[in-house]
Structure 1
Amino acid sequence: MSATAAPARTAVTRSLRHDPLWRTVRLHAISPSVFFGVPWIILGGALAVTLVIGGIGRGAGAPADIDGMRYSWAVLSPQWYLIVVGVQAVGLTFPLALGFGSTRRDFWLGTALMFLLVSAEMAVAIATLVQIEKATGGWWLGVHMFDALWYGQNGWLVDFYTTFALQLLVLFLGAAATTVYMRWRIRGMVVLAFATVALVLAVIAAITFTRSWPGVFAWFAGIGVVGAFTLVLGLAALCAVGGYLVIRRATTR
Structure 2
Amino acid sequence: MSTATTAVPADTRAGGPSRILAVFRFHFVNPTIVAWMPLGITGIIFAMNWAIWFIVHTATTEGGEEMSNGTSWSGASMFIFVWLLVLAVQAMNRTFHLALGLGATRRDYYLGTVAALLVACAGWAIVFGVLGLVEDATGGWGLNGHMFASVYFGDDGPFARTWYVFLLMLFFASLGLVAGALWVRWRTWGILGFGVVLGFLLIGGLAWIALTNAWAQVGAFFAGLGFAGAYPLLLIPVVVAGLLGFLALRRATARS
Q: Give the TM bin, normalised by the shorter chain.
A: 0.7 to 0.9
Gaps of 5+ in 1: 1-14
Gaps of 5+ in 2: 1-13
The 5 Å alignment of 1:17-36 reads 17-36=16-35
Q: Which moved more, 1:142-151 or 1:113-122?
A: 142-151
Instruction: Say whether residues 1:64 and 2:26 are aligned partners.
Output: no
Q: Which residue of 2 aligns with 1:183?
A: 185
What residue number does 2:54 align with? 55
Using the size of structure 1 for normalisation, the TM-score is: 0.88
* Alpha carbons 1:43, 1:77 under 8 Å: kept: yes
Q: 1:175: Cα distance to partner?
A: 1.8
Asked if the contact 1:86–1:170 (Cα under 8 Å) also holds between the matched residues in 2, the reply is: no
- The residue type equivalent to 1:17 in the other structure is G
Equivalent residue in structure 2 for 1:195, among 197, 218, 239: 197
Letter of the structure 1 residue corresponding to residue 44 of structure 2 = G
Instruction: Within 5 Å, give how 1:143-154 maps onto structure 2.
Output: 143-151=145-153, 153-154=155-156
Q: Which moved more, 1:117-126 or 1:60-69?
A: 60-69
- Residue in 2 that maps onto 1:214: 216
Tell me the distance in 1 between the aligned counterparts of 2:99 and 2:52. 45
* Contact kept in structure 1, 2:92 and 2:184, CA below 8 Å: no
Matched AA of 1:137? G
Using the size of structure 2 for normalisation, the TM-score is 0.87
Pair 1:197–1:152, CA change in 2 (3 A): closer
CA apart distance, 1:235: 1.2
The answer for the alignment partner of 1:7 in structure 2 is none
1:144 and 1:201 mapped to 2: Cα distance?
31
2-structure distance, mates of 1:104, 1:218: 43
In 1, the alpha carbon distance for the partners of 2:85 and 2:154 equals: 25
Cα pair distance change 1:145/1:17, threshold 3 Å: same
Q: Which residue of 76, 83, 86 maps to 2:85? A: 83
Q: Is the 8 A contact 2:73 2:152 kept in 1?
A: no
Between stretches 142-151 and 217-226, larger displacement belongs to 142-151
How many angstroms apart in 2 are the aligned matches of 1:121 and 1:210?
Answer: 42
2:16 match: secondary structure:
helix
CA contact (8 A) 1:182 1:250 kept: yes
Q: CA deviation at 1:33?
A: 1.4
- The code of the aligned residue for 2:33 comes to V
- Give the partner amino acid of 1:63: G
199 and 147 in structure 1: CA distance in 2 versus 1, 3 angstrom threshold:
closer
Partner deviation per Cα, 1:168-205 (whole Å, 9 max, x = no partner): 11112112112122223333333333322222222222
Q: CA deviation at 1:22?
A: 1.6
1:125 match? 127
Structure 1 residues 64, 207: CA separation in 2 closer, same or farther (over 3 Å shift)?
closer
The aligned residue for residue 6 of structure 1 is: none
Bigger Rg, structure 1 or 2? 1
Bigger Cα displacement from structure 2, 41-50 vs 181-190: 181-190
User: Percent of aligned positions with the same letter in both sequences?
Assistant: 33
In the alignment, what sits opposite 2:106?
104
How far did residue 88 of structure 1 move?
0.6
Contact 1:79 1:167 in 2 (8 A): yes
2: CA distance between counterparts of 1:188 and 1:117? Answer: 27
How many pairs are equivalent?
A: 239
Structure 2 Cα separation of the partners of residues 185 and 140 of structure 1: 48
Give the Cα separation in 2 of the matches to 1:187 and 1:36: 30
Change (3 A) 1:201 1:142: closer
Q: CA RMSD in A?
A: 1.8
